[in-house]
Amino acid sequence: MSQLELKIPPPLVAATVAAGMVSVALWVGPVLNLPVAFRLGGALALAVLGACLDVAGIWVFRQAKTTVNPMAPERSAKLVVRGVYRITRNPMYLGLVLILLGLALYLAAPWALLGPLAFAAYITRFQIVPEERAMAARFGADYAAYCAAVRRWL
């Protein structure tokens, strides 16, 4: 299974999960009888919050002049610990989870919550854990201190 580590871009994983969620929703249909305004409003709120986390994470990386390429964490020029990275070590992945949660709310089906959970599990195993190994090798004690101070997700 280690062949999947750092191989599939996280946005592609999220898009694949989202497509699966929508496909099943078209087949099964919504289960919860929630007003469309609530579903749409909640979905948009979660999606906007997720997109803001994604943009904030990219912005801080760009300011630090380090790579935003999740496929090559060994190319990191600096350990970024400011901005949104004071709250979570993975704001861009958290942002994608929030977007998927918004989609699950819009689909109004409890089973749709499996999508964000599957994404988080996959990303943790095949993206975050290998990134953490690369960062620990590159930044040593500074990265260990950062991990002790800031949680992986929230």
For the cut 90, the answer to whether the pLDDT of residue 1 exceeds it is: no
What's the pLDDT at 39? 96
What's the pLDDT at 32? 87
pTM of the predicted protein model? 0.96
Six-digit token string for 103: 């989609």
Give the mean pLDDT of the chain.
Answer: 96
pLDDT in tens, 39-78: 999 999 999 999 999 999 999 999 999 999 999 999 999 9
What's the pLDDT at 95? 98
pLDDT > 70 in the chain, percent? 99
Q: What domains, with CATH codes, occur in the chain?
A: 2-149 (1.20.120.1630)
What's the pLDDT at 124? 98
